[in-house]
Amino acid sequence: MTRLYTGKGDDGTTGLLFGGRVPKDSALPRAVGGVDEAQATIGAARALCDEGGDLDLALTQVCRDLWVLMAEVATLPQNRAKLVDGQTRVSAEMVTALEALVDDLGERFEAPSQFVVPGQTPLAAQLDVARTVVRRAERDAVPAAVEGSHVLPYLNRLSSLLWVQARWVEGEHLLARDVDAGG
């Protein structure tokens, strides 16, 4: 039987991509942990989506992107030259792709002009939870991001995407309710 644990972290350290060990409460593992939590909350939102729909596909891609982002922030600065754009380092194109999703979805409805009370639907509420967790992950990633990195812009755009997705889901719910009510 294959062991699913190593015990190497029992001393309070964790291994990094391309080598090196650091305390588990230092900047790099803290950033990875924040993004890991964000990815899990996005997965919870995906579980509420129609399988194979636009929202499911977009969130699946985001989850894959977050693996790339975690690889980047789990790498010591002296090993960052080993990273590959789009595979182990966030690329400018990944940020641009999020911007295109935000713009596309934003054109499908009129965004609210006032503060929004979360919870219109379970899916919209979960997207809002994911957005707040991504914001925290962004704050956690600040000390781990090196100059020229696209980690922070990616996380910033991701929180915008999740906000727009939540509002869009709420709008779809309101439209369905209006149609059901004969409105």
* Cα 62 to Cα 105: distance, rounded to the nearest angstrom: 15
Mean pLDDT, the chain, rounded, equals 91
Please give the helix or strand (H or E) that residue 57 lies within, else none.
helix 54-73
Name the pTM for this structure. 0.90
pLDDT of residue 98: 98
pLDDT of residue 148: 92
Q: What is the pLDDT of residues 27-86, one digit of tens each?
A: 999 999 999 999 999 999 999 999 999 999 999 999 999 999 999 999 999 999 999 999
Q: Which fold has domain 23-104+117-174?
A: Hypothetical Protein Ta1238; Chain: A; (1.20.1200)
Section 103-130 average pLDDT:
90
Q: What is the pLDDT of residues 155-164, one digit of tens each?
A: 999 999 999 9
Confidence of residue 173 (pLDDT cuts 50, 70, 90): low
Domain boundaries, the chain: 23-104+117-174
Q: Regarding predicted confidence, which is higher, 179 or 109?
A: 109
pLDDT of residue 11: 92
pLDDT of residue 177: 43
Phi, psi for 17 (deg, rounded to 5): -60, 135
Identify the CA nearest to 41 among candidates 145, 121, 123, 153. Answer: 123
Fill in the amino acid letter for 135. R
- Say yes or no to pLDDT of 128 above 50: yes
- Say yes or no to pLDDT of 143 above 90: yes
pLDDT of residue 180: 45
* Cα 22 to Cα 125: distance, rounded to the nearest angstrom: 36
* Cα 38 to Cα 63: distance, rounded to the nearest angstrom: 9
